[in-house]
Amino acid sequence: MSRALSQIHPDTARPQPGFATRRIGTVNWLGVYTLYAKEVRRFIKVFLQTILAPAVTTILFLAIFMVALGGARRTVGDIAFSAFLAPGLIMMSIIQNSFANTSSSLMIAKIQGNIVDVLMPPLSAGELTVAYAAGGVSRGALVALAVAAPIFPFVDLTINHPWAVLYYGLSASLMLSLIGAMTGIWSDKFDHLSAVTNFVIMPLSFLSGTFYSIERLPEIWQTISRFNPFFYLIDGFRYGFIGHADGDLTIGVLTTLAANLALTIACYLMFRRGYKLKA
């Protein structure tokens, strides 16, 4: 092939004078940033669906619990129910949207056949993992801000422990971005995404203390709840606002760190093997 090209144009087989080749280096930072920017622009382009819609849904949840179910007069211990509920709703939005971002992106790329545009460039498995995870984290953070903005004027919320809000918010976004990426790689059709969303993500998020304190559950259900990693995300995030946690914060930090490390390795291996990505 190179000999044929040289016969057509002798200079095509050799670098042209003054032509500088780009050195990628150990890490292809430009490639990672480009893929990350593509992921961010993808969901920003439809921000009414990806950013504003979750905020409206969360406000509806808050209105139902506060007005229709009489939550304005309820308390959880000595904490107003609205202040208890709001952090859980914000975290639920982070969980759902971080997962949706990476899973839908990879699923659409596979169905449309343009996943090759991601696999062909000089991007390693680690760089692909970082770029997709960062895109999901960005969407989770923006959704959290969009959800929190209309909540603060109506709910008496104060940030007592900023480190907990930041750590658990980012940990949740990263965890669900990685789970979403793995789901997108594994899925062959949108029915598979829906199955994981409806039978895994939604139950784990709804049954992790989003709307209630697990201290009110029977002992056996408290124990079961502590095996749910989403419980530590919501409990730690809520602790950052109200200063009270149902679980052990040290266990929560170690659990989320271990889960994110394991998910990162698993996602990296799936990209490296080209599992269901390469024919």
- Tell me the pLDDT tens digit for each residue of 233-248: 999 999 999 999 999 9
Range of the domain at 50: 29-273
- Report the number of distinct structural domains present in the chain: 1
In a domain, 13, yes or no: no
Domain-embedded: residue 120: yes
Residue 91, pLDDT above cutoff 50: yes
Residue 20 lies in a domain: no
Coil, helix or strand for 123? coil
More confidently predicted of 106 and 80: 106
Model confidence, pTM? 0.88
Cα of 160 vs its chain's centroid, Å: 24
Q: Identify which of 211, 215, 216 has the alpha carbon closest to the alpha carbon of residue 238.
A: 211
- Assigned domain for 10 exists: no
Backbone angles phi, psi at 15, to 5 degrees: -60, 140
- For residue 250, tell me if it sits in a domain: yes
Asked whether residue 180 is assigned to any structural domain, the reply reads yes
Residue 163: inside a domain: yes
CA–CA distance, 95 with 52 (Å, rounded to integer)? 16
Per-residue pLDDT, 173: 97
Q: Is residue 188 a part of any domain in this protein?
A: yes
